Amino acid sequence: MDSEADDGDSTLKDENCEFDDVEEEEDIDDANTDDNEDDINSEDSGTELDSEDIIDSENSTEKMKLQKKYDTKDESDSVNNNKKRKPNEELCKKKKQKISDSSEEDTDEGEYASDESEASEVHIKGAVKINKDGTWEDIYGRLRAKDGSVISQKESKYVPPALRQDNSKQSEKLTRLRKQLKGLLNRLTESNMHSIATTIEDMYMNNSRNDMNESLTSLILDTLVTEITTPERLLIEHVVLLTVLHANVGTEIGAHFLQQVASKFDIFLSGSHDVENKMLDNITKIIAQLYNFQLFDSKLVYEMLRKFCEFFDEKCIECILHVLRSVGFNLRKDNPLELKNFIVEVQKKASEISEEDKDNCRVKFMLDILLAIRNNNVKKIPNYDVSYPEHLKKVMKGFIRKGNYVTQLNIGLEDLLKADEKGRWWVVGSAWSGNQNKDKEQTEVVKNNESYSTNILELARQQHMNTDTRRNIFCIIMSAEDYLDAFNKILHLSLKNHKNARL
């Protein structure tokens, strides 16, 4: 037994020494197991031992074996953990060495990296673009510094989207469009008018309407308004084409063309009236034919004729003759009262001119035509032929699509000339400042008060006619010659809505 205890103590000492060396762990375990087997065999070989001592020794050996196993497992786990920790510590040391070396070598790069890290933090907070100098741009396009303060910049004017395009591309597109339109207008005749009108309609759908209106208007005016007399057939065909487009595409085509014609008319009328220059004559003929095909009302034509009467020179008399020969009977049919007033005004102007001008053949011829139109006598007008315009009116009905019609514009000359100031009320959606109605009403009241005598105004005051409307009605009734005169004067007051109750 003593020998066995000595052997156990020796083995424990050996194991404690061997555990210090991790690399020879497995060999030591094998050696221990062999020694234990030899001890067990030696125990079996002893003949002199008692059975009780043998049982005690076996139990002790089993306990020792179990203890050894648990100790070896704990030590093996600690060794494995130490093995894993060693390479991780070595890698951390290497990384620290590299970082220290790079920071010592490139100090400037380190500072720049710190700036970038700060900018990245700003970018996370809402920066759209980060610059190299540390500034950044927010979602509203404002330039900000590193600390977030807004950097003031010079204010730039707002550029609309239409002007942001490249001018060269836009000019090329316009020149190509003008060439295409010019080629169509050069081939314009009665036979191919329908095909040309449909082609121009498709161009309106594929291009800007403003570009189309300006290009078409400028090309037609360049063709028709020249220093020589334009053939009447050519002029009427272009007017018919405009009328078809006015009905099929939109009223803004005729309105835009009419506005440009009116501005040119005002320029030529205020300029020199050279008889040999036929530009004013051609403009007058265009306006007359536009009225003939019912693009606008007779109001504009009568205003144009009154402008000619103000000057009443040889050139203006010739233009009056053009209008009367073209659409004189249409004017008589639409508004005979205005025509009568115009004839009276012309006769008055003719009587006021000098004797030399009275003997002028143009003045005599104009007066004869005015009398013929007033008396509805077509035979007295030389070379009066309206067969071709009437034929084109019938043909034009087939060119206009079903459901469309020519919208007649009730525009005055003053509205067209002041369109840039007041606006274009005839265009849908266009801004219009309108007339100052209050000022007009005040001036009319002042004029009416001045026309009445002081006795009648005193009577109106005594009868408590304290408003302008009641005072005017009272004065008209008291100063009228008869009931018809009073009725006509009250109609001229143009009372509306609640003011009718004052009657």
User: Which class does domain 170-422 fall in?
Assistant: mainly alpha
Position 201 scores a pLDDT of 94
Most confident region among 2-6, 211-215, 349-353, 370-374 by mean pLDDT: 211-215
CB atoms within 10 A of CB 295: 26
Q: Compute φ and ψ for 501, nearest 5 degrees.
A: -65, -20
Residue 72 vs residue 331, higher pLDDT: 331
Tell me: pLDDT of 299 over 60.
Answer: yes
Which one-letter amino acid corresponds to residue 351?
Answer: S
Position 53 scores a pLDDT of 52
Q: Are 384 and 378 in contact (CB under 8 A)?
A: yes
Tell me the pLDDT band of 60, cut-offs 50, 70 and 90: low
When pLDDT is averaged across residues 102-109 and rounded to a whole number, the result is 49
Tell me: pLDDT of 222 over 80.
Answer: yes
What is the rounded CA–CA span in Å between residue 297 and residue 334?
9
Tell me the pLDDT band of 284, cut-offs 50, 70 and 90: very high
Position 267 scores a pLDDT of 92
Position 6 scores a pLDDT of 45
Tell me the pLDDT band of 45, cut-offs 50, 70 and 90: very low
Residue 204 vs residue 465, higher pLDDT: 204
Position 109 scores a pLDDT of 46
Tell me: pLDDT of 51 over 70.
Answer: no
With pLDDT > 70 as the criterion, what percentage of the chain qualifies? 65
Tell me: pLDDT of 22 over 50.
Answer: no
Residue 377 vs residue 390, higher pLDDT: 390
Q: Are 294 and 247 in contact (CB under 8 A)?
A: no
139-148 contacts, C-beta under 8 A, 24 or more apart:
146/115, 146/118, 146/119, 146/122, 148/122
Which residue carries 């019912």 as its tokens?
Answer: 294
Position 110 scores a pLDDT of 47
**Which of 293-297, 341-345, 398-402, 485-489 comes out lowest in average pLDDT?**
485-489
Tell me the pLDDT band of 124, cut-offs 50, 70 and 90: very low
When pLDDT is averaged across residues 184-210 and rounded to a whole number, the result is 93
When pLDDT is averaged across residues 258-273 and rounded to a whole number, the result is 90
With residue 143 as reference, give the H or E element that holds it. strand 143-144
Tell me: pLDDT of 332 over 80.
Answer: yes
pTM (two decimals): 0.56
Q: Are 28 and 18 in contact (CB under 8 A)?
A: yes
Tell me: pLDDT of 21 over 60.
Answer: no
Position 48 scores a pLDDT of 43
What is the rounded CA–CA span in Å between residue 322 and residue 288?
8
Q: Compute φ and ψ for 143, nearest 5 degrees.
A: -85, 130
Q: Are 246 and 253 in contact (CB under 8 A)?
A: yes
What is the rounded CA–CA span in Å between residue 347 and residue 136?
81
**Which of 6-15, 200-209, 399-408 comes out lowest in average pLDDT?**
6-15
Tell me: pLDDT of 64 over 60.
Answer: yes
What is the rounded CA–CA span in Å between residue 316 and residue 283?
12
Which 8-state DSSP code applies to residue 170? H
When pLDDT is averaged across residues 375-392 and rounded to a whole number, the result is 84
Dihedral sign for Cα 493, 494, 499, 501, please: positive
3-class DSSP assignment, residue 428? coil
Mean pLDDT of the chain: 75
> Could you tell me the maximum CA-CA distance found in the chain, to the nearest angstrom?
182
When pLDDT is averaged across residues 454-473 and rounded to a whole number, the result is 82
Position 129 scores a pLDDT of 79
3-class DSSP assignment, residue 145? coil
Q: Where are the domains of the chain?
A: 2-102, 107-149, 170-422, 437-502
Which residue carries 């009587």 as its tokens?
Answer: 351
Tell me the pLDDT band of 61, cut-offs 50, 70 and 90: low
Q: HEC string of 187-235?
A: CCCCCCHHHHHHHHHHHHHHCCHHHHHHHHHHHHHHHHCCCCCCCHHHH
Tell me the pLDDT band of 273, cut-offs 50, 70 and 90: confident
Residue 113 vs residue 181, higher pLDDT: 181
When pLDDT is averaged across residues 161-179 and rounded to a whole number, the result is 77
Residue 323 vs residue 156, higher pLDDT: 323
User: Which pair of structure tokens corresponds to residue 275?
Assistant: 């008889």
Which 8-state DSSP code applies to residue 148? S
- The CA–CA distances, whole Å, from 360 to 233, 238, 320, 365, 380 equal 30, 34, 15, 9, 19
Beta bridge partners of 37: none
Tell me the pLDDT band of 49, cut-offs 50, 70 and 90: very low
Which 8-state DSSP code applies to residue 159? -
